[in-house]
Amino acid sequence: MDIPAMAEAVARGDRRMLARAITLIESSRPADRQAARELLTALPDRPAMRIGLSGTPGVGKSTFIESFGLMLVEAGHRVAVLAVDPSSARSGGSILGDKTRMEHLSRHPGAFIRPSPSQSQLGGVARRTREAIRLCEAAGHDVVLVETVGVGQSETMVADMTDLFVLLLAPGGGDELQGVKRGIMEIADLILVNKADGDLRATAIRTVADYAGALRLLRKRNQDPEGWPQALPVSALDAQGLAEAWTALSALYDWRRDEGVLARTRAAQAVTWLEREIEAGLHARLARDPRLADLMPDLRARVAGGTLPAEAAAETALDALLGTASHTP
């Protein structure tokens, strides 16, 4: 594969090549990984506004991305939509998988939509999604939406690769009722109470007030300006409140950029991913090591038989692979 040519085509905004480039970075074949690293190094750095979006199934994420994304592309933005869904490998693509989702947005020339990479491990999915963000940015997308289902750990991963985090909620009910984990509330910059239309509108407005209060008690980020995190009502279906949501997000983004918060956050995120990459790479290399394969049957049998404690067995294996001198007391 001609990596410089691919990099050049991606940077030109060639969507077909962007899709191919993402396929390349999603591959776990060693030769492809090498090519992917070359590609990522060759691409220009064009940071976009990276927005993480989460919410339990049925809350209206795809409807929201469709109408919010359309509003943005019609205003001249170029929007990329990526997903982090560790379950998609098992269910055969639950998120963004079927073509009927985001029907209009997916056909718009200003938008690029990509389903979650089909890997069984959340860590793997998240790492590849982070690289896909870079590719989408290099291709000229100025807004990148990263969608995830509200199941806990994937939110943390997405928060570690985005600038802003949006949580979509349904009208009414407390956190428990909506299955929202406290940790997710803590990383949300903006809570959007969706379905604020028809009979649900009044409930939605009340829910916004409840969450606005709760958010301020829950988290006081001294790095953010007064009044954040925020809660707002939207109707993804009727495209109501979307402009307000965008104005709010843009204001927070601009503030964080001007105050240097954005740069510091991104630097810290990069270091987090360096550590994750080392961890994952180390694990992969050790798992492939033939010496471990030789050792394991015996160690497994002794640990299972109760003649050797698990910790001692693990230490034996690691000493054999890495040497005893590699760890300091």
Q: Which residues of 34-58 are buried (b: 16+ CB within 10 A; e: fewer)?
A: ebbeebbeebeeeebbbbbbbbbee
**Which span sits near ligand GDP by CB under 6 A: 12-20, 110-118, 229-237, 246-254?**
229-237
Q: Where are the alpha helices (DSSP H) in the chain?
A: 3-11, 15-26, 30-42, 61-74, 88-91, 103-107, 122-138, 153-159, 182-187, 201-218, 242-258, 261-288, 290-304, 310-322
Q: How far is the CB of 197 from ligand GDP (least distance, A)?
A: 5
Q: Which residue has the CB atom at the shortest distance from ligand GDP?
A: 60
Report how far apart, in Å, the C-alpha atoms of 200 and of each of 5, 133, 194, 241 are.
52, 35, 9, 15
- Our finding on whether 235 is near ligand GDP (CB under 6 A) is yes
- Our finding on whether 73 is near ligand GDP (CB under 6 A) is no
For ligand GDP, give the closer residue by CB, 94 or 269.
94
- Our finding on whether 103 is near ligand GDP (CB under 6 A) is no
Residue 16 tokens read as 């077909």
Q: How far is the CB of 171 from ligand GDP (least distance, A)?
A: 9
> Residue 110's closest CA among 17, 21, 18, 15?
15
Contacts of 263 (CB under 8 A, 6+ apart): 257
- Our finding on whether 197 is near ligand GDP (CB under 6 A) is yes
- Our finding on whether 194 is near ligand GDP (CB under 6 A) is yes
For ligand GDP, give the closer residue by CB, 148 or 230.
148
Q: How far is the CB of 60 from ligand GDP (least distance, A)?
A: 3
- What is residue 84's three-state secondary structure? strand
| CA gap 252, 271 in Å, rounded | 23
Q: Which residues of 241-250 are buried (b: 16+ CB within 10 A; e: fewer)?
A: bbeebbebbe
Residue from the set 166, 236, 249, 299 that interacts with ligand GDP by CB under 6 A: 236
- Our finding on whether 62 is near ligand GDP (CB under 6 A) is yes
Residue from the set 9, 22, 25, 61 that interacts with ligand GDP by CB under 6 A: 61
**Which span sits near ligand GDP by CB under 6 A: 125-133, 192-200, 201-209, 246-254?**
192-200
- Our finding on whether 52 is near ligand GDP (CB under 6 A) is no
Number of residues that bind ligand GDP (CB under 6 A): 14
For ligand GDP, give the closer residue by CB, 141 or 195.
195
For ligand GDP, the binding residues (CB under 6 A) are 55, 57-63, 194-195, 197, 235-237
